[in-house]
Amino acid sequence: MPVPHGSPGSLTLDPALRADADQAVRVLRASGEVHVWWWDLPARTDPDDLALLNTAEYERALRFHAERDAAGFVRAHASARRALAGLLGVPAAEVDLGRRVCPGCGDGSHGPPSVLRPAVPLAVSLSRTDGLGVLAVRAGTWVGVDVEARRDVRADTLAELVLSESERRVLAGLAPGPDRDAAFHRCWTRKEAVVKAVGVGLIGTELTALEVHMEDDGPVAVSHSHQGVNTLWSVSDLDVGAGYTAALARPDRSATGPVVLHPPV
């Protein structure tokens, strides 16, 4: 089994590579672009993926009970490094990932993902579902992405727990079946994308008070409130292939640049 590259003792980078990374971020900031990658998740762990993980990620991968879940986690984090490496012009092995402090409770163990090396001001968000992983990256502080494999859902039961009153009315107006399931998934991924962009997650949000305008094609403006702080987000639906629903959230004031999609090769 390959040995992970580990969390480096120094987060410094070769000056030439650091200059390339800094320039890439400047271009990204000037364009306002958000870059989105997605990839299939394997059933078994790939040794080449595992070799890119740091020690903390390696140890977390070992704690998964199901091989498929471990393989998905490993592929997602390795693929995120490869995508960031291509964006920043550095080798994948020189990219290290960690977590930011949770803005809700101040805990550093479950905050949003961050790029530790190169130490550049990028916002990143990762999401996994059955068979697919998605990464969103933008220059700045916050971004959120969520993806869900479409499946039959008990929308009536879940609606009371996660949908606003107006969202429940929209859902009730749809006949049971694929269209209704698609509408629920659209609503759910939008909510997930917002709470991940805010950084507090599902636990820190009253989902029935988070209105994501499921009847509108978007982009839509979504207001989020947490501990007396109100923020506004621009939320877009993403096309990541048949059988999946995905959404992207970014600060409304910065939602002026295009979303650049990088389909799997």
Task: Give pLDDT tens digits for 117-169.
Answer: 999 999 999 999 999 999 999 999 899 999 999 988 776 778 888 899 999 99
Span 18-33, mean pLDDT?
A: 93
In this model, does residue 9 exceed pLDDT 60?
no
Task: Determine the topology of domain 1-141 in CATH.
Answer: Ribosomal Protein L22; Chain A (3.90.470)
Mean pLDDT to the nearest integer, 69-84: 97
Residue identified by tokens 């995120």 is: 80
Residue 162 near residue 191 (C-beta atoms within 8 A): yes
How many angstroms separate the Cα of 210 from the Cα of each of 71, 87, 228, 235?
33, 33, 14, 12
Q: Where are the domains of the chain?
A: 1-141, 143-253
With 0-12 CB in 10 A as exposed, 13-18 as middle and 19+ as buried, what is 44? exposed
155 near 180, Cβ under 8 Å?
Answer: yes
Superfamily name with CATH number, domain 143-253: 4'-phosphopantetheinyl transferase domain (3.90.470.20)
Pairing of β 259-262 and β 244-251: unpaired
pLDDT band at 261 (very low <50, low <70, confident <90, very high): very high
